[in-house]
Amino acid sequence: MENNSLLKLVTAKAHTWLDGSYDEETKAEVRRMLAADDQTALIESFYKDLEFGTGGLRGIMGAGSNRMNIYTVGAATQGLSNYLKREFAGLPQISVVIGHDCRNNSRKFAEISADIFSSNGIKVYLFDALRPTPEISFAIRTLGCQSGIILTASHNPKEYNGYKAYWDDGAQIIAPHDVNIIAEVENIKSPDAIKFDGNPALIERIGEEIDALYLERIKDILLSPDAIKRNKELKIVYTPIHGTGYRLIPRCLREIGFENVTTVEEQMVVSGDFPTVISPNPEEPAALDMAIRKAKAIDADIVMASDPDADRMGIAVKNDKGEWTLVNGNQTCILFTHYIITRRRERQQLKETDYMVKTIVTSELERIICERNGVTLYDCYTGFKWIAAVVRENEGKRNYIGGGEESYGFMPAAFVRDKDAVASCALMAEIAAWAKDNGKSIYQLLQDIYIEYRFSKEKGISVVRKGKTGAEEIAQMMVNYRQNPPQQIAGSSVTLIKDYQTLRQRDLRSGKETELDFPATSNVLQYFTEDGTKVSVRPSGTEPKIKFYIEVQDTLPSRADYDAVDAKANDRIEAVRASLGV
């Protein structure tokens, strides 16, 4: 579309906001954009509507149809209200939980959402202050609610906010409810259709009573309480990176028995501006810099961090040279998987019905560990709504003992149906205590897992292609991979191809094709080679990029061989990259 035509369209759309039932503060912001010499902000704010997708809303805050504001949040809440009233029409009282994180405007959006739900006759349990995302999931289940929302943009930059919706099992919404709710939200065409006038009689503040129940349930997942008692002086450094973890994670660690928890005070300050970091994401090494400096100063045993809504956890430990090193998301899942299975077996608690879950792009080493110990492992799509869907499918039939994904998320128990940094920090601290009880560091424990089962190394690569032509190029790349699949990758023959768009897999050795048992299709391709390499390719659903997930495997004879094997794996990953042209 020509720039002049686009500008005419957004200008006309902006004027409908000046003429409509919007508040004066919003109209003033729209007038400023219309009057500005540079019309970029106007175009970005109005060129489309902020879409309520399967993950809810996420966008930059500000006035406009493509921004997070009280009207886009209001439309989402009104649409969800309409759907809940239709879906649960037979209940005498529909109820929801509302939580929020530390971000600018999160409390405001939460309170406005409470007003809208209550105005629609829906009972609201509103947290009295910011809380972790997993606690919202827990509260929905504990209070017997039909839905819940949290205002959060996870680890996005400070300009963003978001809106995540949950169903009555405490899991993020999937089909058929997701598309039905989207349709209801899209039907809200004007602020006049949003019931902003709340009913205070239907809004109940909750807080400490849910915190206490949540922390008690976390204690139930622990497998080595005696190891914690013997290592209660374990030196833990923790940072919430200005987010919601500041309240419950240090408290949780102390309540389970750790007496030497040091926090990064500068980052215990709750702030949606995240003043001490460029990105509040524990996946980013720089986000842990201050915590690692503190750890060096006190000679700590482990560093732990949570993202702004405390669902993701990142850790750092000392290597065999005494240097602090980050543990990536795949390694964290491997540590959790090994520990849970090992301790359940040692305690004679491992059952035939036990199972774990991982996403398809997460390390295959988890499968090796599970298979060798007779534990069923399910694969699912990226995102904890899919892990929760597996749990829901197995409810009452099998026993969930843990699941996670490579992007720094783990769900240690089914009483929360989303990734949970509070429970994960508690369990990881216990692993550190257990390892120390056995004369090991976390780093040495990870090496020993590689020795016992197999060494694996993973790397994610994102190729960015912006704009309309970029999107077309990404689409064509996926077409090319499907039509001309590689026969070899870095010199190793491809033996298995999985295509989640067609839900078919092909064994290249036998020529046999079989179905993939997944609840929906997804634009993901996977290649497995003779030497154990796995390559996953998928376009991002939210950003202009195509993602490659590379995993290579090897044997690790001893700890002394680790550096050489790791270097060899790095070379192998680079060879795979070159082979794929990325």
| Largest separation between any pair of C-alpha atoms in the chain | 72
Please count the structural domains in the chain.
5
| Range(s) of the domain holding residue 190 | 48-206
Average pLDDT on 476-488 reads 94
Please tell me whether residues 396 and 492 are part of one structural domain.
no
Q: Are 197 and 117 contacting, i.e. CB atoms less than 8 angstroms apart? A: no
Helix axes 421-437, 442-452, angle to 10 degrees: 80
Alpha helices in 411-457 (DSSP H): 421-437, 442-452
Q: Report the distance separating Cα 30 and Cα 15, nearest Å.
A: 8
Say if 555 falls within a structural domain: yes
Residue 216: the pLDDT is: 98
Instruction: Find the mean pLDDT for residues 529-547.
Output: 88
pLDDT digit string, tens, across residues 295-348? 999 999 999 999 999 999 999 999 999 999 999 999 999 999 999 999 999 999
Q: Mean of the per-residue pLDDT values for the chain?
A: 96
Does 156 lie in the same domain as 110? Answer: yes
Give domain status of residue 470, yes or no: yes
Say yes or no: 193 and 231 in one domain: no
How many contiguous H segments (helices) and E segments (strands) does the chain have?
18, 23
Interior angle at CA 491, CA 487 and CA 495, nearest 5 = 40
Share of the chain above pLDDT 70, in %: 99
325: in domain: no
What value does the mean pLDDT take over residues 288-298? Answer: 98
pLDDT at 256: 98
Mean pLDDT for the stretch of residues 98-122: 98
pLDDT one-digit tens code per residue, 48-99: 999 888 788 999 999 999 999 999 999 999 999 999 999 999 999 999 999 9
Which residues touch 148 (CB under 8 Å, ≥6 apart)? 96, 97, 98, 99, 136, 137, 139, 140, 165, 166, 170
Q: Which of 180, 206, 232 is the last residue of a domain?
A: 206
Q: Note whether 467 and 400 are same-domain residues.
A: no
Shared domain for 240 and 96, answered yes or no, is no
**Tokens of residue 160, six digits:** 């963003």
C-beta of residue 21 within 8 angstroms of C-beta of residue 191: yes
* DSSP-derived pairing of the beta strands 236-239 and 302-306: parallel
Peptide bond into 176 cis (omega under 30): yes
Q: Do both 334 and 428 map to the same domain?
A: yes
- The upper half-sphere exposure of residue 239, i.e. CA atoms within 13 Å in the direction of its Cβ, equals 27
Q: What is the 3-state secondary structure (H, E, C) of 119-140?
A: HCCCEEEEECCCCCHHHHHHHH
For the entire predicted model, the pTM comes to: 0.95
Concatenate the DSSP letters of all residues of 269-338 into one string: S--TT-TT-S---TTSGGGGHHHHHHHHHHT-SEEEEE-TTS--EEEEEE-TTS-EEEE-HHHHHHHHHH
Overall average pLDDT of the 559-581 stretch: 97
Residues 466 and 555 in one domain: yes
- Which residues contact residue 546 at a Cβ distance below 8 angstroms, ignoring those fewer than 6 apart? 462, 463, 465, 474, 477, 478, 537, 538, 539, 540
Q: Please indicate, yes or no, whether residues 121 and 197 belong to a single structural domain of this protein.
A: yes
The answer to whether residues 70 and 202 belong to one domain is yes
So what's the pLDDT on residue 398?
A: 98
**Which CATH number covers residue 490?**
3.30.310
DSSP 527: E
C-alpha count within 13 angstroms, C-beta hemisphere, residue 10: 26
| SS3 label, residue 554 | strand
Residue 571 included in any domain: yes
**Confidence band of 1 (pLDDT split at 50, 70, 90):** very low
Place of tokens 């649960």: 88
SS (H, E, C) 104-123: CCHHHHHHHHHHHHHHCCCE
Residue 277 is assigned to a structural domain of this protein:
yes
**435 lies in the same domain as 471:** no
Q: Give the separation between CA 564 and CA 457, rounded to whole angstroms.
A: 13
Catalytic residue among 45, 113, 154, 492: 154
- The answer to whether 95 is a known catalytic residue is no
CB 546 within 8 A of CB 463: yes
Q: Secondary structure of 149-195 in the HEC alphabet?
A: EEECCCCCCCCEEEEEEECCCCCECCCCHHHHHHHHHHCCCCHHHCC
> How far apart are alpha carbons 268 and 284 in whole angstroms?
18
Q: Got the DSSP string for 354-394?
A: EEEEEETTS-THHHHHHHHTT-EEEEE-SSHHHHHHHHHHT
The pLDDT value recorded for residue 278 is 94
d(CA 30, CA 397): 55
**How many of the other CB atoms lie within 10 Å of CB of 407?**
20
Q: How far apart are CA 283 and CA 327, in angstroms?
A: 9
- Comparing 437 with 470, the larger pLDDT belongs to 437
Task: Decide which of 544 and 548 is more confident.
Answer: 548
**58 and 11: one domain?**
no
Using the structure block, give the residue that is written with the tokens 């060899």. 568
Query: Could you tell me if residue 132 is inside a domain?
Result: yes
| CATH of residue 98 | 3.40.120.10
pLDDT at 418: 97
pLDDT the model gives residue 2 = 55
Last residue of one domain, picked from the residues 177, 206, 235: 206
Would you call 509 helix, strand, or coil by DSSP? Answer: coil
- Is pLDDT at 494 greater than 90 in this prediction? yes
The mean per-residue pLDDT over the stretch 557-567 comes to 98
What pLDDT is stored for residue 480 in this prediction?
Answer: 93
Which of 150, 185, 179 lies closest to 165, judged by CA? 150
Would 324 be classed as within a structural domain?
Answer: no
Instruction: Name the token pair of 118.
Output: 């209550």
- Give per-residue pLDDT as tens, 149-196: 999 999 889 999 999 999 999 999 988 999 999 999 999 999 999 999
Cα 228 from chain centroid (whole Å): 28
Q: Are residues 287 and 361 in the same domain?
A: no
Q: Report the alpha-carbon distance of residue 190 to residue 233 in Å, rounded.
A: 58
